[in-house]
């Protein structure tokens, strides 16, 4: 897990929604931004992986953005935004193990066929005969 908080920059704005005068006066919504390509904490391969996996959250300039307005205070929103972006990026750099195809064992095949046969016999016995 890499901590690249020194490369993050923040922008504040007024939150939307309920909150009365607090919403109208105070800039509590926080947008955290990070220039992926300019990072010194990640290798080029990791940067490409981040850009590929998080391309829906990046703008045309290659800046990863995340906006948080969960709390009534700017400080708590800034903390939450930082934690969320760190978690997002750390998940994006994890390599998925390739799935290995497996075949069912002979015992599993036999069990499945046996269950099918029993079910078929049960349904056959339900039929009305003269």
HEC sequence for 39-71: CCCCCHHHHHHHHHHCHHHECCCCEEEEEECCC
Instruction: Report helix, strand or coil for 77.
Output: helix
CA 71 to chain centre: 21
- Region 35-51: mean pLDDT is 87
d(CA 78, CA 74) in angstroms, rounded, equals: 6
**Who wins on pLDDT, 19 or 127?**
127
Segment 46-91, tens digit of pLDDT:
888 888 888 898 888 888 898 888 888 888 888 999 999 989 988 8
Residue 85 CB coordination number (10 Å): 22
Contact 14, 24 (CB under 8 A): yes
pTM of the model: 0.66
Residue partners of 95: CB distance under 8 A and separation at least 6:
49
- Region 9-30: mean pLDDT is 73
CA 107 to chain centre: 38
């Amino acid at each position: 897990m890499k901590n690249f908080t020194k490369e993050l920059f923040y922008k504040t704005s007024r939150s939307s929604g309920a909150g009365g005068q607090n919403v109208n006066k105070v800039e509590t919504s926080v947008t955290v931004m990070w220039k992926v390509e300019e990072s010194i904490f990640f290798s080029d391969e990791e940067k490409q992986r981040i850009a590929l996996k998080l391309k829906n959250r990046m703008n045309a300039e290659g800046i990863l953005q995340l906006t948080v307005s969960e709390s009534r205070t700017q400080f708590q929103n800034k903390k939450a935004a930082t934690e969320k972006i760190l978690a997002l990026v750390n998940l994006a750099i994890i390599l998925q193990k390739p799935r290995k195809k497996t075949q069912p064992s002979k015992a599993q095949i036999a069990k499945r066929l046996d269950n099918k046969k029993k079910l078929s016999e049960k349904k056959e016995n339900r039929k009305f005969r003269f």
